[in-house]
Each structure stands twice: as C-alpha cells, then as structure tokens.
Amino acid sequence: MPSTVSARMATTLLAIGTRKGLWFATSEDRRSWSLSSPHFLMTEVPSIGIDTRGGRTRLMVGVRSEHFGPTVVHSDDLGVTWDEPEHGAIRFPADTGAAVERVWQLHPDSADRPGVVWAGCEPISVWRSDDGGNSFALCQGLWDHPHRPEWGAGYGGAAAHSVVPGPDGTVHVAMSTGGVYRTTDGGGSWQPRNSGIGAYFMPGPAPEFGQCVHKIARDAVDPRRLYAQNHHGVYRSDDDGDSWTSIADGLPSDFGFVMLAHPRRAGTVWVVPLVADGERIPPGGELAVHRSDDAGSSWRRLTDGLPAHEYNAVLRDAACVDAGDPVGVYVGTRGGEVYASADEGESFSTVASHLPDVLCVRAAVLP
C-alpha cells in the first residue's frame, strides 16, 4: 500500500501587474496554475511587492489610473480586501513642489530590517517605509542631489526603478536616465557608480552619470557583487559598484530590460535579451531566457516551454524569481503571456494568456 503524503504542499503566489489590472495565479507545484479574476480593472499596475517576512503575507501594489493618478494599496488577506491610506502612502513634501507620477518599485528589505520597504518613483525619487509600507518618507539626500537637474527620462518616464538594499545598509539604486547611485550612510549622501558602463546614445566617452541602466541585481552570496542590464551592455561589478566590466559575451544581444539574481546561489543570474534599442523584440522572434551560473562568464539559452514565435518585449519588472527550491523563474510579455519555470529556467509552462501588457510580476512561496 503506497504511503500517503501528509505534508502540506507549499502554495506559490504569482502576482501579475498589467496595463489594465492585477491578476493573481496560485499553484501547488508551480506547473499548473489557477488564475484569479482581475483586481483594479482598467488601472495600470506597474509595481508589486510581496512581503512574507515574519510569517505573514502583505501585498503592496502601485496602482495608477490615467485619469485619477497613482496610489499605493496593500492587502493582508491575499487580495480579498485592500487598504489605502486616506492621505496616500507616498506623497511629496509640499516644499518640493513635486507630485508622484508613477510608483515603479516596491521592495521589501531583508528579514533583518522588518518593516522596512523601499519604493522607487517617477519623478526620480527613492522612498523608505519603516511601517511595512503604510507610509513612506522621501530620501531627501537623493532628491537634493546636485545631479538631479541633469537626470533625464527614458521612454517610459524619468524614474528610479531599481532599489537594491544590501546587508550592511548600503543601498544601490538605478534610474533611467542617470545610472547607478549608491549610499553607504543610510541615504544621506549618494554617489554615482557607473564607471565602465556605456552610454552609446551620448557623444564622447561614457560620463560619470547619465547612463540608462535598465535593471540591477545583487549577488546572493557576495553583497559587493552586482549585475546590470544596461541600455546596451550587460555588466558585473565585483567592488560594490565602483567599477563594471562587460559580461555580454555569449549572449545574442546586449540589449534588454531584465536582470535577475538567484536568491541563494552565488553567480547565478538570468536575462531576457532583445535585439536592440531600435528593435525591441526577442532575437529571431523567439523568446528565450538566458542563465549564467558563473557570474556572467558563460550563458545558456533556455527555451523549453516558451513560444516559438514571440515579438513582444519583456519589460524590466515583468520578470522575477521566487525563493523556492529549486528557484522559480517567471516572465511576462507585453503581449499578455506569462510563463513560469519551477526548475530555474530549464523548462517553462504557461500561467496565463491574452492578458493586457504585463508590466510587472512578483512571486512568493506563501508562509
């Protein structure tokens, strides 16, 4: 008689933010998925944070209406109900004369800093919450940075789209356009860290800042090692961002938006190349995820389960990993397709089809 399995299987939650609403997908095995009905239908969802610290799950969602502006909402019951602070979780101080246009990033910090959540916004600004995302304070040091008047806007708007806190309090941010900045004093001062990163859209040698870095990620084991997908260029830094070297050899293209790092294993990263800035489609019209297990020295092209024909891009936050074992990898396209891998990218299954343009995905194994 076969033995019975008594252990409860873990549920994985995948949140899918699109141009016209938010969907949830859940799975017990990360291969077959159940898709929810839409939340916030007809509003853009450019950012999602899933905070599972402390054994509870809080969903934070940046929502933006074309008519009625941006806001941040949260749910402590997996989206059954949503709370929105009456006066807004993120709002510029009156003396700035600025207004939030879009919340691009909601990133829970580590378990060592419970309650700390980072946000990156348009206009270019970084925010910190110490109360789990109920309210955020502007990082005034970055807002007052003398470079700010020279930061520009990528096609999607001028935004701080990557906020990557390290274990020692160091925080790296990436902005388009402006590049990578780092603080080591809790956000009081910020220094550009773009040495070695190209800016081919500007004449002359690469500047100290002004690059259009699309996404950065930190290595799981060595916190001084970072990876960057640039507006042409894929890079690694081994010195906390002080200098960057190319790791694009072996990739079909050095353009793209995605950079994902393994949550536990050193040197494992994923990218999703696109042909070029003037041709934002997967090379050959075939969607492929590329993984390196040696910090970018070599790459493997992974396509099992992905469509043979795909002419839609994968945006910078429309890809993520979970913390499962093996790690799950997720990608969503501007064509509304979402794919999941339960084996670190070796094979993918389809989670959802025919959704609006996917702007962001975030996944977590529920506690």
Partner 1 sequence: MTVQVLLPRLLAECTGGRTSMALDVPAPTTVGTLLDVLAAEHPVFGRRVRDETGALRRHVNVYVDGEEVRRLAGLATPVPADAEVMVVQSVAGG
Q: Tell me which of 10, 35, 78, 98 binds partner 1, using CB under 8 A.
A: 98
Q: Does residue 362 bind partner 1 (CB under 8 A)?
A: no
Nearer to partner 1, 99 or 366 (CB): 99
Give whichever of 69 and 284 is closer to partner 1, judged by the CB atom: 69
Q: Are 197 and 230 within 8 A, CB to CB?
A: yes
CB nearer to partner 1: give 44 or 344. Answer: 44
Choices 96-104, 140-148, 200-208, 332-340; region in contact with partner 1 by CB under 8 A: 96-104
**Minimum distance between the CB of residue 125 and partner 1, rounded to whole angstroms?**
12
Q: In a 10 Å sphere around its CB, with 0-12 CB exposed, 13-18 middle and 19+ buried, how is residue 6 labelled?
A: exposed
Binding pattern for the stretch 55-74 against partner 1, x by CB under 8 A and - elsewhere: ----------xxxxx-x---
- Position 170: which residue type? T
137 touches partner 1 by CB under 8 A: no
Q: What token pair was written down for 160?
A: 């701080």
Q: Does 263 bind partner 1 (CB under 8 A)?
A: no
Q: Is 243 exposed, middle or buried (0-12, 13-18, 19+ CB in 10 A)?
A: middle
Task: Identify whether the C-beta of residue 46 lies closer than 8 Å to the C-beta of residue 101.
Answer: no
Asked whether the beta carbons of 50 and 11 are under 8 A apart, the reply is no
| Nearest CB to partner 1, comparing residues 98 and 202 | 98
Radius of gyration of the chain (CA): 19
87 binds partner 1 (CB under 8 A): yes
Residues 24-43 that bind partner 1 (CB under 8 A): 42
| Residue placing its CB nearer to partner 1 in the complex, 19 or 147 | 19
Which range, of 82-90, 109-117, 219-227, 245-253, touches partner 1 by CB under 8 A? 82-90
354 binds partner 1 (CB under 8 A): no
Q: Return the residue of 10, 31, 75, 92 that touches partner 1, per CB under 8 A.
A: 92
Cβ proximity to partner 1: between 70 and 332 the closer is 70
Distance (Å, whole) CA 80 – CA 72? 16
* Smallest distance, partner 1 to C-beta of residue 26, A: 26
Q: Decide: is 100 part of the binding site for partner 1 (CB under 8 A).
A: yes
CB of 19 to partner 1, least distance (A): 8
Considering beta carbons, is residue 296 or 335 the nearer one to partner 1?
335
Q: Which two tokens stand for residue 190?
A: 């910020």
The nearer residue to partner 1, 137 or 366, going by C-beta atoms, is 137
The dihedral over CA atoms of 191, 194, 200, 203, expressed in degrees to the nearest 10, equals: 50
Query: 66 or 112, CB closer to partner 1?
Result: 66
Smallest distance from partner 1 to CB 358, Å: 16
Between residues 332 and 356, which has the closer beta carbon with respect to partner 1?
356
Rounded to whole angstroms, the Cα distance separating 7 from 360 reads 32
Name which position in 99, 137, 221, 366 contacts partner 1 (CB under 8 A).
99
What is the closest distance, in whole angstroms, from the C-beta atom of residue 267 to partner 1 in the complex? 42
Instruction: Find the binder of partner 1 among 39, 53, 64, 91 (CB under 8 A).
Output: 91
Least distance between partner 1 and beta carbon 66 (Å): 4
Q: Does 86 bind partner 1 (CB under 8 A)?
A: yes
Which residues form the interface with partner 1 (CB under 8 A)? 42, 65-69, 71, 84, 86-88, 91-92, 94, 97-100
